[in-house]
Structure 1
Amino acid sequence: MPQAVGVIQTIGFPAVLAAADEMVKGGRVTLVYFDLAERGEFLVAIRGPVSEVERSMEAGIKAAENSFGGVVVSHYIVPNPPENVLAVLPLDYTDSVERFRV
């Protein structure tokens, strides 16, 4: 089954928390990365089947924008990322997230 990576970057923690919560509830995806981007911006990345990532991203963007003061700075989906992208960027399924993989 083709996999995809989806990333949302927000201003402020409440918006990224709302996005992450809604993304994992909105589809069969696994949260694989979360970090502080810069200047109070946060990002969250998910992986899963392409159709599930698309649905989860829509839900996450809406949730982030509806949170108090929530601003989505950027978002994108990479369908079928090549192996070299996964080898370099911290988007692979790790041991710490493996038990949550769907």
Structure 2
Amino acid sequence: MPQAVGVIQTIGFPAVLAAADAMVKGARVTLVYFDLAERGEFLVAIRGPISEVTPAVEAGLKAAAQTEGGEVVSYYIVPNPPENVLAVLPIEYTAKVQAFR
């Protein structure tokens, strides 16, 4: 089944937490990456079937925007990421997240 990657970047931790929560509750996706970006910005990445990542990201964007003081900086969906992207960027299914797949 074709896989996709979805990423949301927000200002403030509560907004990224709300986005992550909405994404994993709203579709069959796995949270594969979380990190603090620059200037108090946070990002979260999910993986899953293309048909699940798109509505998950939409739910995450809505939840982040509704969070008090939260702001979405950017987001992106990559359908069928090539293997060289998976090899370099930290978006692979790791042993740590495999149990939640």
TM-score normalized with structure 1 length: 0.98
Equivalent in the alignment of 1:74? 74
Alignment of 1:80-91 (within 5 A): 80-91=80-91
| 1:42 aligns to 2:42 (yes or no) | yes
Equivalent in the alignment of 2:22? 22
Any idea what the Cα deviations from partners look like across 1:24-54, whole Å, max 9, x if unmatched?
0010000000000110000000000001000
- Three-state SS of the structure 2 residue aligned to 1:67 is coil
Q: Which runs of 5+ in 2 are unaligned?
A: none
Aligned-residue RMSD, C-alpha = 0.3
Work out the CA distance in 2 between the residues paired with 1:62 and 1:29: 17
Equivalent in the alignment of 1:4? 4
Equivalent in the alignment of 1:93? 93
Compute the displacement of 1:20 (Å): 0.2
| Identity across matched positions, percent | 80
TM-score normalized with structure 2 length: 0.99
Q: Which runs of 5+ in 1 are unaligned?
A: none
Moved over 4 A (4+): none
Work out the CA distance in 1 between the residues paired with 2:37 and 2:51: 26
Work out the CA distance in 2 between the residues paired with 1:5 and 1:100: 16
Compute the displacement of 1:3 (Å): 0.2
How many aligned residue pairs are there?
Answer: 101
Compute the displacement of 1:70 (Å): 1.1
Equivalent in the alignment of 1:63? 63
